[in-house]
């Protein structure tokens, strides 16, 4: 578990690259108010948008989770605790007026970035050029 990257993992970087290319600026590993050691993967503090890119194993993806055979009782409790922590973080942020979006690591980075841009655009009133080939720079 100690070798698992908390930030800058492949799926997260793929989404962040697309958002940055589209002109969206954000904070990485932004602390969740009131929750020690918990962070938002991608945060736009201006529009209060919190994005989490959840790993299929650690967050119990219904499509891809394969429960370990060794010490399975411990893993069940561990993964359920992770899910409860996710719900708690989401509720905490929504209670503070944040919009929370969660995506799975297996989702297409282009689709994830487009969904984030749509929420960000509606909150800020500014459009982003994700997937727009006319935008160069």
Asked if residue 101 lies in contact with residue 52, where contact means CB atoms within 8 angstroms, the answer is yes
Summarize the confidence of residues 78-103 as an average pLDDT: 97
Assign 135 a pLDDT band (cuts: 50, 70, 90).
very low
Summarize the confidence of residues 104-116 as an average pLDDT: 98
Answer yes or no: is pLDDT of 128 > 90. no
Residues 113, 114, 117, 118, CA torsion sign: negative
Fold exhibited by the domain 10-124: Endonuclease; Chain A (3.40.960)
Write the pLDDT tens digit of every residue in 25-83.
999 999 999 888 899 999 999 999 999 999 999 999 999 999 999 999 999 999 999 99
- Share above pLDDT 70 across residues of the chain, in percent, rounded to a whole number: 90
Closest CA to 7 of 47, 34, 43: 43
Which pLDDT score, from 0 to 100, does residue 40 have? 98
Answer yes or no: is pLDDT of 111 > 80. yes
Asked if residue 122 lies in contact with residue 99, where contact means CB atoms within 8 angstroms, the answer is no
How far is residue 72's CA from residue 62's CA, in Å, rounded to a whole number? 17
């Amino acid at each position: 578990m100690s070798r698992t990257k908390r930030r800058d993992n492949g799926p997260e970087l793929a989404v962040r690259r697309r958002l940055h290319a589209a002109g969206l600026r954000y904070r990485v590993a932004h602390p969740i108010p009131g929750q020690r050691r918990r962070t938002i993967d991608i945060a736009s503090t201006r529009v209060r948008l919190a994005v989490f890119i959840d790993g299929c194993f650690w967050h119990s993806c219904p499509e891809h989770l394969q429960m370990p055979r060794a010490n399975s009782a411990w893993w069940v409790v561990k993964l359920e605790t992770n899910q409860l922590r996710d719900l708690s973080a989401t509720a905490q942020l929504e209670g503070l007026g944040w919009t929370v979006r969660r995506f799975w690591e297996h989702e297409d980075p282009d689709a994830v970035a487009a969904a984030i841009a749509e929420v960000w655009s509606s909150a800020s009133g500014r459009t982003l050029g994700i997937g727009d080939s006319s935008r160069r720079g």
